[in-house]
């Protein structure tokens, strides 16, 4: 299964579009706001990556900040961390993991693979530790952590259904 064929890329695209719609923000306005955050992007490439669901989690956080979107309470301290946007994604991962202190990064990576992550356990673990996740990977992470942090933008049940769809495909 390629990234374009997964329910995760479709959900990633949907989540970004919901953020933009709730903030009544178009791509042109978003791009202006992202440029003010130091992001170098063209409107066309951003719109293309969003439509395909091929967006980094760090860019998703930038979009949330740039549009003044509602940020999940659990993530707020992560978004004001110094450093890079990947550091902030790492902060989000850390905040979510804090709810489950007995769950290791390796456990999370194994769970993500079972619901459709296409990377190796080692690579996923590295992405989790370094904060270099894609938005589809972040969504997978949230579902395996039973997190409802993005429920304002996507129902948790929809994330679970995506996980179940992938798992069901493997059984056939």
- The pLDDT assigned to 37 comes to 87
Q: What total number of domains does the chain contain?
A: 1
Domain that holds residue 99: 3-171
User: DSSP state, 69?
Assistant: P
- What is this structure's pTM? 0.93
Q: What is the H or E stretch that residue 121 is in?
A: helix 121-130
Identify which of 159, 132, 135, 136 has the alpha carbon closest to the alpha carbon of residue 147. 159
- Tens of pLDDT, residues 121-132: 999 999 999 999
Per-chain mean pLDDT for the chain: 92
């Amino acid at each position: 299964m390629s990234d374009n064929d997964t329910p995760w890329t479709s959900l990633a695209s949907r989540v970004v579009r919901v953020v933009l719609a709730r903030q009544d923000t178009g791509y042109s306005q978003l791009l202006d706001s992202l440029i003010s955050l130091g992001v170098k992007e063209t409107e066309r490439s951003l719109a293309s990556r969003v439509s395909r669901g091929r967006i980094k989690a760090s860019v998703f956080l930038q979009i949330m900040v740039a549009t003044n979107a509602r940020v999940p309470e659990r993530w707020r301290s992560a978004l004001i961390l110094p450093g890079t946007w990947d550091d902030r994604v790492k902060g989000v991962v850390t905040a979510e993991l804090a709810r489950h202190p007995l769950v290791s990064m390796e456990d999370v990576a194994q769970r993500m693979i079972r619901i459709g992550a296409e990377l190796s356990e080692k690579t996923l673990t590295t992405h989790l530790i370094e904060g270099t996740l894609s938005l589809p990977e972040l969504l997978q992470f949230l579902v395996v952590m039973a997190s409802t942090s993005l429920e304002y933008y996507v129902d948790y049940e929809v994330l679970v259904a995506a996980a179940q769809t992938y798992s069901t495909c493997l059984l056939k």
